[in-house]
Amino acid sequence: MTGGSTLVPPFAFPFQKMGSFRRPRPRFMSSPVLSDLPRFQAARQALQLSSNSAWNSVQTAVINVFKGGGLQNNELYALNENIRRLLKSELGSFITDYFQNQLLAKGLLFIEEKVKLCEGEDRIDLLSEIWDHFFTETLPTLQAIFYPVQGQELTIRQIALLGFRDLVLLKVKLEEILPLVQTKIPPSIVQMLLILQRGDIPDPVLRLVC
């Protein structure tokens, strides 16, 4: 994301295996003559560039959201259209996995690093503020961007919440900090733990806030 580099999804190798962007010819159609090959290659490259452009716009928007930015006017409509276009392409089956393992992981890394800059009660206060923003701003925006992605085993909302639990909450070691808190635990921290509670959250943490 630095240095103005172009964002391109790391899907080159699966596409080579699957013969990406190659449209099957109707049955009984004769093989293309040599004069058709440049036009065929140009069409294939145009489709690939279009898909890459759609991916890049989604990636840029998601990372910007995690950095605290918002969407521009009409940007949500354009992002939804890009998602719909990608769902119809050979990239479609990768969208959820790519969101979870690349975009979400990268965005939550920004949050984790920010939280770890503080210690003790300051970390609790900052995590409280970050959770408020994530839950009320970031999460709804992610759901809106990926609205066209339906029918998955886990929803975008569930994936994002599980990601926050695994990549932020479980790495900031609340079980070591909460016993040191002299003031009342912020309501946002209580809300966060109740929403994210799963077997992976240490019992001492839940007992401290519940």
Q: Count CB-CB contacts under 10 A for residue 190.
A: 16
- Phi, psi at residue 143, to the nearest 5°? -60, -40
What local confidence, expressed as pLDDT, does residue 21 receive? 32
Is 5 inside any structural domain? no
149 dihedral zone (left: phi>0; alpha: psi -120 to 50; beta): beta
pLDDT of residue 95: 86
pLDDT of residue 36: 58
List, run by run, the mean pLDDT of 10-residue segments along the chain (210 residues).
Answer: 46 37 37 50 49 86 92 92 88 85 93 90 91 96 94 88 93 83 85 78 49
User: Is 173 contained in some domain?
Assistant: yes
Greatest C-alpha distance within the chain? 79
Contact between 154 and 210 under an 8 Å Cβ cutoff? The reply is no
Q: Is residue 23, in this structure, part of any structural domain at all?
A: no
Is residue 115 assigned to a domain?
yes
Instruction: Convert 16-73 into a string of H (helix), E (strand) and C (coil).
Output: HHHCCCCCCCCCCCCCCCHHHHHHHHHHHHHHHHHHHHHHHHHHHHHHHHHCCCCCCC
Residue with token string 């790519």: 98
On whether residue 191 sits in a domain, the answer given is: yes
How many domains is the chain built from? 1
Q: Is residue 13 part of a domain?
A: no
Residue 142 within any structural domain of the chain: yes
